[in-house]
Amino acid sequence: MSKLISETVKIDQAFAPADISATKTSAYFSMANYRRVLAVSNVASIAEGKTTTIQLMQATDDQGTGAKVLGDAVTVNGAGAAVSATVEAFASDLDDGFTCVAVQIVSTADSPIYGAALLLRGDGRYGTASE
């Protein structure tokens, strides 16, 4: 019998809608039970010529100790409309001793611009999504 997506993917709200005209970083989430991570951002209408960048971060614990980038950032250009972006990694991409991930997002908008992000962890080591 097939599993529901909700049984195989742990979905966390990385952060609720907030001003991302300055860099915003979520809490750090453990990858101990997962093999993959996907961050999804949604950003309110952003002016043409402005950008939004989403980046995964890695740390040695859920407090963000030793935080540094994980993989390549994804930048999307504004076009006067809301934008979404995703960035993905494998747990095996984490450096040795790094066990937690976060999502970081920033916009080059001149005035407050609101964005939110979800963090999805999947391909569980023990079958179903937990923790």
For residue 62, count other CB atoms closer than 10 A to its CB.
14
Euclidean distance between CA atoms 77 and 47, whole angstroms: 9
How far is CA 123 from each of CA 37, 68, 91, rounded to the nearest angstrom? 9, 23, 10
Residue found under tokens 């950008």: 51
The pLDDT value recorded for residue 97 is 97
pLDDT of 73 reads 97
Predicted local distance difference test score (pLDDT) of residue 99: 97
Domains of the chain in start order, with CATH, are 8-122 (2.60.120.660)
Q: Cβ neighbours of residue 4 under 8 Å, at least 6 residues apart?
A: none
Amino acid at 100: C
DSSP for 30-75? E-TT-SEEEEEEEEEEE-TT-EEEEEEEEESSTT-TT-EEEEEEEE
pLDDT at 33: 92
User: For residue 16, what pLDDT is reported?
Assistant: 94
pLDDT tens for the 131 residues of the chain, in order: 577 888 889 999 999 999 999 999 999 999 999 999 999 999 998 899 999 999 999 999 999 999 999 999 999 998 888 999 999 999 999 999 999 999 999 999 888 999 999 999 998 877 666 65
pTM of the model: 0.91
Residue 74: per-residue pLDDT: 97
CA atoms within a 13 Å half-sphere pointing along the CA-CB vector of 128: 6
HSE of 106 in the Cβ direction (CA atoms, 13 Å)?
Answer: 9
Instruction: For residue 110, give the DSSP letter.
Output: S
